[in-house]
A and B are shown apart, each in its own frame.
Chain A
Amino acid sequence: MAVPELAPATVSRRTVLRAAALAAGALVLGPACSSSGPTEAADPLRALGRDLDAGPHGSDLRARAAELGAAVDDARDEAAVRAALARLEADSRADFAARRTVVGRGWVLSRTEAATLVAYARSGP
């Protein structure tokens, strides 16, 4: 999956999570996910993350989401964000290769990208 290009010199943890969630969700959600801001109630990335959180794999995904949240804490500049996103991408591919997948709204997602969406959904507001 393509990693979004990010411009800001410094970003919040939540922004990093959103970027990661966007990377995970953009391909399958299309324009709906990118046309709404992170604070909008109708944010489809958040909705997908909440679905996954409440689904049969929610417990496992929350545990993985906690790991991911901690992992991006140090990503405060562009280089770090890019590195974090690249790690997520690599982890995601490894998940697919190992058949660690979750179905979210019909889409077959890697455990890592599903957890990314859960982490973003739980990051508030």
Chain B
Amino acid sequence: MIASADDLTDGTTLTGDLCIIGAGPAGLTLADRLRATAADVIVLESGVDDPEGATQDLAAGPVTGEPFRFNDNDTALEQTHLRQFGGTSNHWTGMCRPMDEHDLDTRAAVPRSGWPLALDDLAPHYARAIASCQLPADEFAAAWWAEQTGHGLLVDDDRMRSVAFQFSPPTRFGPELRPALAAAPRTRVYQHANVIELVTTGDGRRVRSATGRTLSGRRFTVEADRFVVAAGGVETPRLLLASTGASPGGVGNAFDLVGRHFMDHPHAIAGRVQLVPAPDTWALYVIGEQHTRAGGTTLIWTGLAPSAAAQADAGIGNGVALLWGGLGGPERGARDDDKVASAAVAAVAGAPAPGPSAVLSVRIEQVPNPDSRVTLAAERDALGMPRASVHWQLLDADRATLRGTIELVAESLGAHGLGRVEIDPSGRPIEQWPIGIGNHHMGTARMHVDPAQGVVDPDGKVHEVDNLYVCGSAVFPTSGMTNPTLTIVALAHRLAEHLGAPRG
């Protein structure tokens, strides 16, 4: 059943076995898997099928520290995630790749790193997530994709990896799962159902109910045995922090960790590469190109990423450089005046003409930083709930990862005789580079075995609360360099099985 909370009688109390707050990729995947159980599941979603301005305004809030910029445009907080049925998948580009194996390790160069899971633990759930995201194949090895598409690889060795990203159609989880959820006898989905507080027992050990409001003024309560907050990396800590009935610090926040360690993937147009002529070996790296495979076309993006060993040697976090074809861009300024690739070199010196040039778009993992955080703003939204306030902070270590990734790419291409890299393409020092975001909000309810170091345990259960779980990128202890959606969906499948969904 899919209904609107606007149609509830004011003051209604709904009861169920499980209440899922948020109907994005995580919440809807979870609800879909739990259809196969005997549990009565209630899904509460702020939005409806189509975007609505008044609902989306509930996501607004101040951003301090590093500004949010996406594709060179200043970006407001409410533009970075969607309160809509299907969540942020409604404007998702579909870029997918699992975490690297070393992303889950404890690494000296990344303080507070280390997941309480290994990649093997996630592997079966990634397999389900690949199906959920409708990816073309379950293979991410660049060598496999090179073979499939008939292209070569620039480099893929123990220092520099070629890494492939697949693209989902992209799956819009709302429209995709709507029919099944609407027909599910034990699933009730309510739209326009904003949760403004979790009400706990006096000791804060159990959530008794979720308090709901609609913008039309309806009030409702949901009582359930278990609750899952699947509202993303900003709204999840906002709800926990705003639920102060038992403790002024909010739910699950005895160690003042909720909202801290906010991470995105810092992006920068941070270099340019001039390749020697080898169009065949760089074709797979041309961003935006479709590749023919098995009679069809597939969008694959392939980038260059330092290996785990190279990152450790350089003392940096994970990062990847994607090669955008073309000569420059607005950040290059006058530097292109005397450096345009040309066949004139061949004419005068007898040297082969330079090959293609490309802009290096680098994205990195940022160090989990407790001072980069989501808090509650003084201003309240139309429902009376404190708005989220994001303070996004980058550390010198993050800048070092950015520069170090480019340097390692430069050295690898040079060592293989493949090209040269220009660093600092803007001509400004790295501290002044414009940094973009990926709209990937992570880490604000991080997973750790120790309650003093993480909000949730390895199952996603809030340490301090017996019947409350968090699902989504909020639980990521570290971010890796890859887009989070595939891992979000994998974790949702994992949590679904923990909550009783058959593995079938």
The interface of chain A, by Cβ under 8 A from chain B, is 1-7, 19, 22-23, 26-35, 44, 89, 92-97, 99, 101, 103, 106-110
B499 to chain A, nearest CB (A): 49
Pairs A–B under 8 Å by Cβ, sample size 10: A1-B276, A4-B349, A5-B351, A23-B351, A30-B341, A34-B348, A93-B417, A101-B414, A107-B420, A109-B420
Q: Which residue of B lies closest to A34 (CB)?
A: B348
Specify which of B276, B340, B406, B410 is in contact with A2 (CB 8 Å cutoff): B276
Are the CB atoms of B351 and A97 closer together than 8 Å? Answer: no
When distances are taken between beta carbons in the complex, the residues of chain B under 8 Å from A2 are: 276-277, 351-352
Are the CB atoms of B342 and A30 closer together than 8 Å? Answer: yes
Considering the chains assembled together, what is the distance between the CA atoms of A7 and B277 in angstroms? 22
Are the CB atoms of A89 and B417 closer together than 8 Å? Answer: yes
Are the CB atoms of B422 and A106 closer together than 8 Å? Answer: yes
When distances are taken between beta carbons in the complex, the residues of chain A under 8 Å from B410 are: 96, 101, 108
9 nearest interchain CB pairs?
A96-B414, A108-B410, A31-B344, A31-B342, A96-B415, A34-B348, A5-B350, A97-B415, A32-B338
Considering the chains assembled together, what is the distance between the CA atoms of A28 and B414 in angstroms? 12
Are the CB atoms of B339 and A30 closer together than 8 Å? Answer: yes
Considering the chains assembled together, what is the distance between the CA atoms of A93 and B407 in angstroms? 14
Are the CB atoms of A27 and B420 closer together than 8 Å? Answer: yes
Q: Which residue of B lies closest to A33 (CB)?
A: B345
Are the CB atoms of A26 and B345 closer together than 8 Å? Answer: yes
B28 to chain A, nearest CB (A): 46
When distances are taken between beta carbons in the complex, the residues of chain B under 8 Å from A31 are: 340, 342, 344-345
Contact with A along B410-438 (1 / 0, CB 8 A): 11111111011111110100000000000
B329 to chain A, nearest CB (A): 14
B168 at the interface (CB under 8 A from A): no
Are the CB atoms of A35 and B344 closer together than 8 Å? Answer: yes
Are the CB atoms of B422 and A107 closer together than 8 Å? Answer: yes
Give how many A-B residue pairs fall within 8 Å (CB-CB): 103
B278 to chain A, nearest CB (A): 11
B335 at the interface (CB under 8 A from A): yes
When distances are taken between beta carbons in the complex, the residues of chain A under 8 Å from B421 are: 107-108
B209 at the interface (CB under 8 A from A): no
B263 to chain A, nearest CB (A): 28
Considering the chains assembled together, what is the distance between the CA atoms of A30 and B348 in angstroms? 11
Q: Which residue of A lies closest to B310 (CB)?
A: A99
Considering the chains assembled together, what is the distance between the CA atoms of A34 and B427 in angstroms? 24
B354 at the interface (CB under 8 A from A): yes
Specify which of A30, A35, A106, A107 is in contact with B354 (CB 8 Å cutoff): A30
Q: A93-B414, A97-B411, A106-B335 are in contact. Are A34 and B422 (CB under 8 A)?
A: no
A37 to chain B, nearest CB (A): 10
Specify which of B339, B347, B348 is in contact with A29 (CB 8 Å cutoff): B339
Count how many chain B residues have C-beta atoms less than 8 Å from C-beta atoms of the other chain.
Answer: 36
A111 to chain B, nearest CB (A): 11
When distances are taken between beta carbons in the complex, the residues of chain A under 8 Å from B338 are: 29-30, 32, 44
Specify which of B348, B349, B420, B427 is in contact with A28 (CB 8 Å cutoff): B420
When distances are taken between beta carbons in the complex, the residues of chain B under 8 Å from A109 are: 420
Q: Which residue of B lies closest to A90 (CB)?
A: B417
B166 at the interface (CB under 8 A from A): no
When distances are taken between beta carbons in the complex, the residues of chain B under 8 Å from A101 are: 407, 410-411, 414
Are the CB atoms of B411 and A108 closer together than 8 Å? Answer: yes
Known contacts A4-B351, A22-B351, A97-B415; can you find 17 more A-B pairs with CB under 8 A?
Answer: A1-B417, A1-B420, A5-B351, A26-B351, A26-B354, A30-B341, A30-B342, A30-B354, A32-B338, A34-B351, A93-B414, A93-B416, A97-B411, A106-B423, A106-B427, A108-B421, A109-B420
Q: Which residue of B lies closest to A7 (CB)?
A: B350
B375 at the interface (CB under 8 A from A): no
Considering the chains assembled together, what is the distance between the CA atoms of A118 and B3 in angstroms? 74
When distances are taken between beta carbons in the complex, the residues of chain B under 8 Å from A1 are: 276, 417, 420
Specify which of A23, A35, A107 is in contact with B423 (CB 8 Å cutoff): A107
B326 to chain A, nearest CB (A): 15
When distances are taken between beta carbons in the complex, the residues of chain B under 8 Å from A22 are: 349, 351
Considering the chains assembled together, what is the distance between the CA atoms of A27 and B275 in angstroms? 8
Considering the chains assembled together, what is the distance between the CA atoms of A3 and B413 in angstroms? 16
B389 at the interface (CB under 8 A from A): no
B274 at the interface (CB under 8 A from A): yes
A8 to chain B, nearest CB (A): 11
A87 to chain B, nearest CB (A): 14
Q: Which residue of B lies closest to A96 (CB)?
A: B414
A4 to chain B, nearest CB (A): 4
When distances are taken between beta carbons in the complex, the residues of chain B under 8 Å from A94 are: 415
Taking CB atoms and an 8 Å cut-off, the chain B residues in 22-80 that contact chain A are: none
B60 to chain A, nearest CB (A): 40
Specify which of B411, B413, B415, B424 is in contact with A106 (CB 8 Å cutoff): B424
Q: Which of B340, B345, B348 has the most CB of A within 10 A?
A: B345
Specify which of B341, B349, B416, B420 is in contact with A108 (CB 8 Å cutoff): B420
